[in-house]
Amino acid sequence: MRRMTYAEGIREGMSVKMRENPDVFLFGEDVGKFGGCFGVSAGMFDEFGEMRVRDTPISEGVIIGAAVGSAACGLRPIAELMFVDFVTVGMDQLVNQAAKMRYMFGGKITLPMVVRLPGGGGASAAAQHSQSLEAWLAHVPGLKVVYPSNAQDAYGLMLTAIDDDNPVIFMENKILYSVKSDVEDEVKPIPFGKAAVKKEGTDATIVSYGRQVLDSMKAADILSKEGINVEVIDIRTLFPLDKETIFKSLEKTHKVVIVSEEAKRGAFTGEIASLIAEECFFELDAPIKRIGALNTPVPFATNLENYVLPNEQDIVSAVKSLF
């Protein structure tokens, strides 16, 4: 085992595949010599050169469009946007082209492209740089959406994402970039649609992904001191979703809290809740609880941002309300 930051896990996953396959390349704003807005691609320009680690104009529509075109022509691009907020500028290329082309051409082409999107709040980056838009992207047929919570998963999911022949949205939480965790010496690709049980428990289930997995683990520690033993599930991929692991947990605990950093209205937590209600309703001994940010743009001021975003105390309160 070794210690590695979340950012290093992403970088290592990209670098491994770029060493294996000359058709894999990375491009985006300041990903070259500067090493990326958050330093994720640091050193990659020196190793792979300017033809494979390319800086682009400040035009997210062009970045996504170039990824679509190059993927359709046989390359395997990794496109980075500085913030998930800016994917709105490239939504036509992403939603109406990348997500549809393989289907509309009857499978005669593939679209092996990865779009890296740093998201989430907590950095006082204000309303246009702090959103969580994963539910919007997971809604689109033809897109796969992954959201790792730690370096090991970031590494392994990146290996899988680059090898996939379909467009993959690779969500990254900017607050996690500097967080270190254990990583195996030999990291293997992590299959999409396979959740991880981060902590086993018997009294209630917490379902989450991304940064909120860490909050869920903190909440589990607090609850354990009060005699409540919760199970924590990291879904890792929003689509495909491993509902079987969630259902199996509910057969044991019969209570569930679903957590994300998204504004609660229209959040992906609602999709998980509806699946539980449709297919696992009679396992429930209490109402499904959802936790998310308040339905407001993310404030710049730290105290207001902390008030808007969910935290471990919100999770603790939600779990207690089930008893």
Catalytically active residues, by annotation: 129
Contact between 119 and 171 under an 8 Å Cβ cutoff? The reply is yes
| Residue 284 and residue 258 in contact, taking contact as beta carbons nearer than 8 Å | no
Nearest CA to 196 out of 130, 135, 149, 263 is that of 149
Ramachandran assignment for 193, one of left (phi > 0), alpha (psi -120 to 50 degrees), beta (any other): left
- Residue 130 CA to its chain's centroid (Å): 14
Q: How far apart are CA 37 and CA 40, in angstroms?
A: 8
Taking the C-alpha atoms of residue 240 and residue 138, their distance in angstroms, rounded to an integer, is 9
Nearby residues of 101 by Cβ (< 8 Å), 6 or more positions away: 68, 72, 109, 111
Residues 159 and 66: their CA atoms lie apart, in Å, by 21
Strand partners for 118:
172
